Structures are given as C-alpha cells and as structure tokens.
Amino acid sequence: MINIKPIYFILASILFVIFQAFVIIRKKEFNFWSVLAKYIFLNYCLYAIFLLFFPIYIDPRAIDTSQAVSSNINIIPFASLIDMAIFDTKYGYYTSLVKNIMGNTLLLLPLSFYLTVIWDKLKTVKTVLITSLSIPILIELIQLIENIFQGTGRKVDIDDVILNGVGFFMGYWIAVKLYSPIKEMLSQSNVSLKKHNL
C-alpha cells in the first residue's frame, strides 16, 4: 500500500530547492515571495493529491471488493449533505457536516487562487465556470476508477463536485480582488543578483 508519508514532502522540498537554485543562477534574479508562494503551492498540491487519491493498494489481498461500486455513487444533488445533516441532528454529532462542507469547499480554493494569479486565461468568468466544473468532475472520475479497480470505498458524490466548484470560484474571486496588490508586491521584491556580481 502506498500512503502519505513525510519523506515524500522532504524529497519534494529538496528537489524544489535544487530546481529553484538553478533558476536563480540562470536568471540572475531572486524573488523571495515568488519562491515562497511556489513552495507553498507545491506542498498544497502534494497534500491534495494524497488526500484525494491515496492510499493506493498494490496488494490484491488488501483490496476490499465486498461493497458494490454503485453503493458509493451519489448523483442526486445535496442528497449526501441532507443525509449527513439528518444523522448529525439525530445523534447530536454536528461536526461531520461542517467538516465535509468546509473541507470540500476549501480544497480547490488555493489551486484557483494560484492559477488566477499566474494564468491570464483564467480571468474570465466563463473560463472559471468551465474549470470549476471540469476539475472536480475529473477528481470524482479518478476516484470512481479507483473504486472499480481497487474497491477503495471512496464515495463518488455530486455534492463534492458542487462544493469543490464553489470553492474554486471563491478562490478566483479572492485572487481577482488581490491581483493588483500581489503583482505590485512581487514586482517590487525582485532582487537582481547582477548588481551584486553574483
């Protein structure tokens, strides 16, 4: 079984530092905030990938095929959220619904924020709407494939698509509002190494 481990983040960090060092030497320019943003985004991507698609079972004996794939699929909007709300109200356990809504909404917000800042084509509402649907649907399709071939028990849920899409659009809106200040901060924080003969 392949699962999330700290060593993966450490290795990614080492490779990132080496790559950025080559970039800085080649361009003779260093921007602390840009490098920091890229490093944070790298770790976010790794965490999101592990959260969404791992563990991966490579031992057939570890694969659970006791549940039918169809039992883990919901195509009725808000059905899962309503069921969760009923369960939480009945048993007085109110955190699962909040965690589900917050987690799925915030999952793609950093991705949207970052892409909006660096990708000019994502600054139109039409492109954002298409992307905010495409990425969550792709995620659910990959999880469906995992269910079919590994029996992971991951739920393929239209509610996740809706919440992921809302979070993606929120990230776009925040990035648009902060776009000018961010660009100005990044442009003013460039350090030319040529001036220092480095």
72-108 tens-digit pLDDT: 889 999 999 999 999 888 887 778 889 999 999 999 9
- Tell whether pTM > 0.75: yes
HEC assignment per residue over the chain: CECCCHHHHHHHHHHHHHHHHHHHHHHCEEEHHHHHHHHHHHHHHHHHHHHHHCCECCCHHHCCCCCCHHHHEECCCCHHHHHHHHHHHHHCCCHHHHHHHHHHHHHCHHHHHHHHHHCHHHHCHHHHHHHHHHHHHHHHHHHHHHHHHHCCCCCEEHHHHHHHHHHHHHHHHHHHHHHHHHHHHHHHCEEECCCCCC
Quick one: what percent of the chain has pLDDT higher than 70? 82
Q: What interhelical angle do 109-118 and 32-53 show, nearest 10?
A: 140
Q: What average pLDDT does this structure show over 32-40?
A: 88
pLDDT at 196: 43
Higher-confidence residue of 133 and 151: namely 133
156-169 tens-digit pLDDT: 899 999 999 999 99
pLDDT bucket at 118, cuts 50 / 70 / 90: confident
